[in-house]
Chain A
Amino acid sequence: EDQVTQSPEALRLQEGESSSLNCSYTVSGLRGLFWYRQDPGKGPEFLFTLYSAGEEKEKERLKATLTKKESFLHITAPKPEDSATYLCAVQISRAGKSTFGDGTTLTVKP
């Protein structure tokens, strides 16, 4: 069965303190890996799609990378507005269902 594990569960950073969030997965043939940001009480907001090992995507202070077993979401010089829960999801069939991890809740203190 497909499994997605995110670590750490919670991460507290000072503003400007860079760090990485981890998403490890066990699937039978990865079609795509997705990162989302979710604010309390809202739906997930799409950030990145990664398809193959070695691929990288960047958006402002965020960079997502992918290997054959895990993905990292690197956050550089975070700001308080980056505080949210970051979710990772995998797909094994094109346009099929996504299997989500339980997320990492990031808190950035000013």
Chain B
Amino acid sequence: DTGVSQDPRHKITKRGQNVTFRCDPISEHNRLYWYRQTLGQGPEFLTYFQNEAQLEKSRLLSDRFSAERPKGSFSTLEIQRTEQGDSAMYLCASSSVDTQYFGPGTRLTVL
């Protein structure tokens, strides 16, 4: 068990650019979650997968955000046409039952 990994750890981009983040879950976990966290707030749910199926997506998630989990292994989160309000920590978690284990996060800064 090597834990949940995320790449990159930090990303600085200019407004209007597209960015993609990767998450590798704990190997035996079939559920994978994406959250966003801003300073002083708790993580906010974005979307989650069971195997390769995307089962729930937050109503707060705009059309600029898309997530995939091909073959039920790693997942990617893409943000198109980034805005300054997208600056946040993007967290990935995985689980086999109820308890979610988090990765170290990707810190996004949009200039």
Binding site for B on A (CB under 8 A): 4, 31-32, 34, 36, 41-46, 49, 87, 89, 91, 94-103
CA–CA, A95 and B4, complex, Å:
17
Docked-complex contact A87 and B48, CB < 8 angstroms: no
- Count chain A CB atoms within 10 A of each CB in B4, B42, B95, B105 and give the residue with the most: B42
Known contacts A96-B48, A97-B33; A87/B42 CB under 8 A: yes
Chain B contacts for A89, CB-based, 8 A:
42-43
* Interface status of B72 (Cβ within 8 A of chain A): no
Complex: chain B residue closest to A4, CB-CB: B42
Known contacts A41-B107, A42-B104, A97-B48; A32/B42 CB under 8 A: no
Chain B interface bracket (under 10, 10 to 19, 20 to 34, 35 or more)? 20 to 34
Min Cβ gap A95→B in Å is 5
Known contacts A96-B48, A97-B48, A98-B45; A34/B100 CB under 8 A: yes
Docked-complex contact A44 and B43, CB < 8 angstroms: yes
Complex: chain A residue closest to B98, CB-CB: A32
Known contacts A42-B104, A43-B104; A100/B99 CB under 8 A: no
Chain B contacts for A42, CB-based, 8 A:
104-105
CA–CA, A41 and B88, complex, Å:
11
Known contacts A42-B104, A43-B104; A101/B98 CB under 8 A: no
Min Cβ gap A76→B in Å is 24
A interface footprint on B41-65 (CB within 8 Å = 1, 0 otherwise): 1111100101000001000000000
Known contacts A43-B103, A44-B91, A95-B31; A49/B98 CB under 8 A: yes
List of 5 A-B pairs having minimum Cβ-Cβ separation, nearest first:
A100-B42, A43-B102, A97-B45, A44-B102, A102-B42
Q: Within residues 70 to 111 of chain B, which ones have a CB less than 8 A from any CB in chain A?
A: 91, 93, 95, 97-105, 107
Known contacts A42-B105, A43-B104, A43-B105; A87/B98 CB under 8 A: no
